[in-house]
Amino acid sequence: MSGDHLATYLTDHMAGSTAALELLERLKAEYEGDPVAATATRLIAEIGDERKVLDGLAERIGASVTLPRKAASWITEKAAQLKLLYDDPKGGPLRHLESFEALSLGIEGKRLLWRALATASARRRELVGPDYDGLVAQAEDQRRRVEAHRLAAAAEALTGRPESPSA
């Protein structure tokens, strides 16, 4: 039974990384030439590397992302995009704030994933190997980088004015 739970847990996070990559690609395109695009580009590369770690672990335990799980991830991401479009049809500051919050929550979930896998690796040999401490530290750094953009978007979305350069 625990093997099934591990497979589900890993594939859920794999699906979440796919949704995050789609969101980051959209932000990268929307913010071309802006520091947000640079942050998105770096996150895309880092998440791609992290995804290789997840893929390797999933392969070790014989898990793969099933078609229903892929479809659920795709539908969830598209539903989130529709919600964001409904709330802020012009793709303005509220949409950006909520996009950064979704990324932040996903990164926190990933940080917790690495901690959980590190703990479970004491009992599951196939989970041994990845630098979980390094992955946790990277997630914390990613969260800090996204937080700067989230707060700038919050300042604009919740006050109607862009954040001033001195803030």
pLDDT at residue 35, rounded to an integer:
94
Distance CA 167, CA 155 (A): 10
Question: Any alpha helices (H) in the chain, and if so which ranges?
Answer: 2-30, 35-61, 67-87, 93-120, 132-159
Nearest-Å Rg of the Cα atoms of the chain is 17
Would you say residue 139 lies in a domain? yes
| Domain of 106, in residue numbers | 2-159
Q: Over 50: is that where the pLDDT of 1 sits?
A: no
Answer yes or no: are the C-beta atoms of 61 and 3 closer than 8 Å: yes
Sign of the dihedral through C-alpha 44, 41, 46, 165: negative
Instruction: Give the chain's mean pLDDT.
Output: 87
Task: Taking residues 117-135, report their average pLDDT.
Answer: 97
Task: Taking residues 102-120, report their average pLDDT.
Answer: 97
Would you say residue 15 lies in a domain? yes
Would you say residue 105 lies in a domain? yes
Q: Over 60: is that where the pLDDT of 63 sits?
A: yes
**How confident is residue 74, by pLDDT bands cut at 50, 70 and 90?**
low
**How far from 42 is each of 37, 58, 138, 166, CA to CA, in Å?**
9, 24, 12, 25
Answer yes or no: are the C-beta atoms of 155 and 161 closer than 8 Å: yes
Domain count, the chain: 1
Would you say residue 155 lies in a domain? yes
Both tokens assigned to 112: 């917790």
Residue 145 makes CB contacts below 8 A (sequence gap 6+) with 39, 42, 43
For 88-109, the pLDDT digits (tens) are 666 678 888 999 999 999 999 9
Would you say residue 27 lies in a domain? yes
Would you say residue 82 lies in a domain? yes
Would you say residue 166 lies in a domain? no
Would you say residue 167 lies in a domain? no
Pairwise pLDDT comparison (69 vs 60), residue with the higher score? 60
6 C-beta neighbours (distance < 10 Å), count = 20
In this prediction, what percent of the chain has a pLDDT beyond 70?
Answer: 78
Residue 158 makes CB contacts below 8 A (sequence gap 6+) with 97
